[in-house]
């Protein structure tokens, strides 16, 4: 029997790729400013407005992925099937993000923050971070903003979520073809063509949810560590520019052990399903199966990281 160490992990493999881009997506100046109490209310408000609309896209995508899952027809071991576990996770996620939106509105009210996308946005040229070699040409595509004033990172994430469960053209959110759509076109088909893959057809969709949640967890955990370093460095600090909303409310919520367990649950499910799909294969056959899986997801992972990087406002 193969040891745990010998078992190949798809999620660990993805985390080990594009590490520079992952760092840009999870260790952004916006997060550092928030952790150090330097983030103005207007910038935090614009980000909250975008994140609330991200939640709406998340909800639509979860519904589409749920509708696409082929649940077991037979009772025997049906509750242990990966498809059943994925459905359970998605339902839990839907409950959590609805609670999250209410949390947004409550904190915004208590700290006098705006949470409407109508808050004036700076020119797109100011929200775009300098082009990075690891990001390729995607940065240029994403910095133009969308016609309705949505920030480029939000438009990109909406395009990615619109691709879950089928062609993005079937989703109302994709009809306006927001900027960044070309960046995530690979979500719409696999390398083999537009037909669903024979193995784990829900894999790409599940990885979108795991990837965005993992980035969120790591980003705010990094911010939590920076905030703790600030608190330990001196006995007194100036009042937070945002009134303390991030350090007192948002950062603890998004770096909690409970949230980490929620993210790890989906990552573990994905890795277990992939391991089962590869079980019994040896040599070249296993290498081909692994290469087919990687061909479906590696480019998508990079696109997701770029969207996550673009989602943070310029500070």
Global confidence as pTM: 0.81
Structure-token match 């967890």, residue found: 217
Q: 76 exposed, middle or buried (CB, 10 Å; 0-12, 13-18, 19+)? A: exposed
Helix axes 41-68, 203-233, angle to 10 degrees: 150
Asked whether residue 276 is domain-assigned, the answer is: yes
- Measured CA to CA, the distance from residue 234 to residue 227 in angstroms comes to 12
pLDDT score of 51: 95
Structure tokens at 177: 């073809």
CATH number for the domain including 133?
1.20.910.10
Task: Say whether 300 sits in a helix, a strand or coil.
Answer: helix
Q: From first to last of its 315 residues, what are the pLDDT tens digits of the chain?
A: 444 446 899 999 999 999 999 999 999 999 999 999 999 999 999 999 999 999 999 999 999 999 999 999 888 888 899 999 999 999 999 999 999 999 999 999 999 998 886 544 444 344 333 333 333 333 333 344 555 667 889 999 999 999 998 643 333 333 344 444 444 444 443 444 455 445 899 999 999 999 999 999 999 999 999 999 877 776 666 789 999 999 999 999 999 999 999 999 999 999 999 999 999 899 999 999 999 999 999 999 999 999 999 999 999
Structure-token match 């979108």, residue found: 208
Provide the b/e sequence for 53-68 (b: ≥16 CB within 10 Å).
bbeebbbbbbebbbee
Query: In which domain, by residue range, is 222 found?
Result: 6-311
Asked whether residue 20 is domain-assigned, the answer is: yes
pLDDT score of 231: 74
Asked whether residue 246 is domain-assigned, the answer is: yes
Asked whether residue 1 is domain-assigned, the answer is: no
**Residue 197 — φ and ψ, nearest 5°?**
-65, 155
Per the structure, how many domains does the chain have?
Answer: 1
């Amino acid at each position: 029997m193969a040891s745990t160490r010998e078992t190949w992990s798809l999620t660990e493999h993805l985390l080990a790729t594009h590490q520079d881009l992952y760092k840009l997506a999870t260790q952004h100046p916006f997060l550092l400013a928030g952790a150090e109490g330097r983030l103005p209310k207007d910038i935090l408000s614009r980000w909250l407005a975008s994140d609330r609309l991200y939640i709406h896209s998340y909800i639509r995508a979860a519904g589409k992925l749920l509708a696409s899952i082929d649940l077991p027809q037979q009772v025997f071991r049906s509750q242990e099937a990966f498809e059943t576990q994925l459905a359970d996770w998605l339902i839990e996620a839907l409950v959590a993000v609805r609670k999250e939106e209410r949390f947004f509105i409550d904190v915004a009210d208590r700290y006098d923050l705006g949470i409407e996308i109508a808050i004036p946005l700076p020119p797109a040229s100011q929200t775009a971070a300098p082009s990075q070699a690891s990001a390729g040409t995607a940065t240029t595509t994403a910095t133009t903003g969308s016609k309705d004033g949505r920030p480029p990172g939000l438009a990109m994430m909406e395009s990615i979520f619109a691709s879950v469960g089928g062609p993005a053209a079937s989703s109302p959110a994709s009809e306006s073809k927001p900027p960044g759509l070309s960046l995530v076109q690979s979500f719409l088909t696999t390398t083999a063509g537009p037909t669903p893959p024979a193995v784990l057809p829900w894999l790409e969709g599940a990885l979108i949810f795991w990837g965005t949640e993992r980035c969120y967890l790591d980003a705010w955990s990094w911010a939590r560590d920076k905030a703790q370093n600030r608190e330990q460095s001196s006995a007194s600090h100036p009042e937070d520019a945002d009134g303390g909303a991030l350090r007192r409310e948002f950062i603890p919520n998004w770096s909690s052990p409970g949230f980490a367990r929620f993210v790890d649950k989906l990552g573990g499910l994905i890795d277990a399903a992939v391991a089962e799909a590869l079980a019994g294969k040896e040599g070249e056959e296993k290498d081909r199966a692994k290469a087919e899986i990687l061909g479906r997801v590696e480019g998508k992972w990079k696109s997701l990281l770029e969207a996550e990087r673009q989602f943070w406002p310029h500070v």
